[in-house]
Chains A and B, each alone.
Chain A
Amino acid sequence: MKPVDALSSLKDIDGVYGSFVVDASGALTLRDLPAVIDNAALREAGPRIARLWGAFPDDDPPEYVLLEFAAHQVFIRKFDLGSLCVFVPPTVNRVALKLAANFVARWLDAELSAAGVSAEPSPVSEPPPPPSQSAPPPPSAKKTTYFYRGQRYEG
């Protein structure tokens, strides 16, 4: 199974709009979302999602976070190597969603650890480009590889 197929399986749950995955440092790793939510938005949200787990009590391992907005919700499931985020309507069958997210999270743990992804966040975060600078990043700049509908993208 391809990584994107694992994310697509979440759409078996009625109403699921799509999902994406960020690693332990919040970098975008996978996406299966309509393009109305662009990668820039997900990259901006990623580090905050990774830090959300710090809001849990020290003695209580986190299971999930549910963010409720006016018209939709974001269900965030932690796994060893990152976070799985699913866009759902308020009417979603939450029990079924949790189970499906558990399966996908387990699969992602196995696949990403086999691919050598570390559970530790990156020691140094990438600095944002200065606002006045419009030149493209240097060739040595770190690129994130992600998959969308079976296609591999870098950026």
Chain B
Amino acid sequence: MSETTASEAMAMNLSGEGSRESAVVEALTGDKEAQATNEEPAADSEVAVEVDVEEIPLEIPRAPRTGFPAPSGFQAVLQHANLHNLLQIESLSRTTGVFLVVSQGRRGYLHLSNGDLIHAEVGALTGEAAVAQILSWDDGEFKSCARPLGATTIHSSLQALLLRLARDSDEAAAMSERQPPIAGAPHPVEEDKPTEPHLPVPSADGQVRTGPPMPPRPSRPPPLPPRIEREPASRDFARESTALSEVFISPSGELMQGRGAEPDEFSARVAYAARLADLIGRAIRSGTPRALELKGKGTQTTVKWHADGSLSASLEQIQSPKMR
């Protein structure tokens, strides 16, 4: 494993700190495309060729033979492109289709439905395990193919999945760096010192003498002190909460229901915070938030999004428990 972690490599790719060669984008047609894919142009349409129809890349215009219409739009050859980025581009474009990934003789499929990665397969592997394997490939080709969409085996959002896989990849790299040295490999003399007092210690004259016998080890550790009962875990830091205000806000921002102290002012603050949270979610491509918690020194505001776009929120006073 190289010293550069997966996420570092991706960062370099995005920030342009990696290879300075620019991406090459060409509009390919006919013979040009055949050259780019190292395929011989069909010289004789009568030659019988065994073709798996589902795996024909859509960018190869073989409409007369397969029945697939020649696709419109640009086709691209991107050098040094990152598979994560290509996948994100297709996700942002809300693409529906199947992508064939070929790398060193291995083939994998990524199924996108309206930009969501719903299924992946590599040989017998499916789901997130297949995505992890495909995204671990360093180079190859990424192309659309006419395979039908598979059943959903991936339930995480693409963003969350990529984050998790990048973290797992970094952790695996860090673990491999921390592997203990191979047995028998040379190591510093200091490590040869005995770490247990009962082991024989070489004396100055080179004779090994065994010390006095050690007392037998207890079979069980000493008993732990009695358990200290705590407050229920649902109480945040053992504090008690009391609702000061509750509001229900319509999708258009109107206060539909409110009770407690100053519901109008509270609903305005909730609507503002919810709007900002919504914009933050869009910016980081995480979608609409489900909930928002604003914790102050003395109060806590909890906002929940409902399916129809309405919001409910509560303001609670946080009180420290009395000393007993």
Q: Write the chain A residue with the least CB distance to B285.
A: A41
B280 to A: closest C-beta gap in Å: 5
| Docked pose: A37 CA to B297 CA in angstroms | 31
Cα separation A75 to B291 with both chains bound (whole Å): 12
Q: Are A70 and B287 in contact (CB under 8 A)?
A: yes
- Report B232 CB to chain A, min CB distance, Å: 14
Q: Say how far B167's CB is from chain A's closest CB, in angstroms.
A: 5
B295 located at the interface, meaning its Cβ lies under 8 Å from any Cβ of chain A in the complex: yes
Residue of B nearest to A16 (CB): B167
Given contacts A36-B88, A48-B283, contact A69 B10 (CB under 8 A): no
Q: Taking the complex as formed, is A68 at the interface, i.e. its CB lies under 8 A from any CB of chain B?
A: yes
Roughly how many angstroms separate A63 CA and B6 CA in the complex, as a whole number? 33
Interface size of A by CB at 8 A reads 44
Contact B281 A69 (CB under 8 A): yes
- B173 to A: closest C-beta gap in Å: 12
Known: A55-B294, A64-B295. A44 touches B283 (CB 8 A): yes
- In the bound assembly, the distance between CA atoms of A143 and B41 in angstroms comes to 50
Contact with A along B88-100 (1 / 0, CB 8 A): 1000000000000
Q: How far is the CB of B90 from chain A (nearest CB, A)?
A: 14
Closest Cβ of chain B to A94, distance in Å, is: 9
Cα–Cα distance between A44 and B281 once the two chains are bound (Å): 10
Proximity bits, A55-73, B CB within 8 Å = 1, else 0:
1110111111111111110
List the A side residues contacting B13 at CB < 8 Å: 35
A51 at the interface (CB under 8 A from B): yes
Which of B6, B8, B283, B301 has the most C-beta atoms of chain A within 10 angstroms of its own C-beta?
Answer: B283
How many chain B residues sit at the interface, stated as a range, is 35 or more
Q: Pick the residue among B88, B167, B270, B289 that contacts A69 (CB under 8 A).
A: B289
Query: Among residues 284 to 322 in chain B, which have CB atoms less than 8 Å away from a CB atom of chain A?
Result: 284-299, 301
Majority secondary structure, B binding face: helix
- A101 → B minimal CB distance (Å): 12
Q: Check B152 for interface membership: any CB of A closer than 8 A.
A: no
How far is the CB of B222 from the nearest CB of chain A, in Å? Answer: 28
Min CB distance A109 to B, Å, is: 17
Q: How far is the CB of A69 from chain B (nearest CB, A)?
A: 4
List the one stretch of A115-123, A125-133, A146-154 in contact with chain B. A146-154
B8 and A52: CB pair below 8 A?
Answer: no
A155 touches B166 (CB 8 A): no
Q: How far is the CA of A153 from the CA of B15 in the complex (A)?
A: 9
B296 and A63 within 8 A (CB): yes
A71 and B156 contacting across the interface, CB-CB below 8 Å: yes
Q: How far is the CB of A153 from chain B (nearest CB, A)?
A: 6
Report if B11 contacts A (CB, 8 A). Answer: yes
Q: What residues of A have a CB within 8 angstroms of the CB of B88 in the complex?
A: 36
When C-beta atoms are compared, the residue in chain B nearest to A75 turns out to be B293
If A35-B166, A55-B273 are given as contacts, then 15 extra A-B residue pairs at C-beta distance below 8 Å, sorted by A number, are A34-B11, A34-B162, A35-B84, A36-B159, A51-B276, A55-B270, A57-B269, A66-B292, A67-B280, A68-B291, A69-B286, A70-B290, A74-B284, A87-B163, A153-B17
Q: List 18 A-B contacts (CB under 8 A).
A: A34-B10, A34-B170, A36-B162, A45-B280, A48-B276, A52-B277, A55-B269, A55-B272, A60-B297, A61-B297, A62-B296, A65-B294, A66-B291, A67-B289, A69-B288, A70-B157, A72-B159, A149-B5
The 9 A-B residue pairs with the shortest CB-CB distance, nearest first, are A35-B10, A71-B160, A34-B166, A55-B273, A60-B296, A45-B283, A34-B7, A44-B283, A36-B162
Question: Chain A residues in contact with chain B, CB under 8 A?
Answer: 17-18, 33-39, 41-42, 44-45, 48-49, 51-52, 54-57, 59-72, 74, 87, 89, 95, 148-149, 151, 153, 155
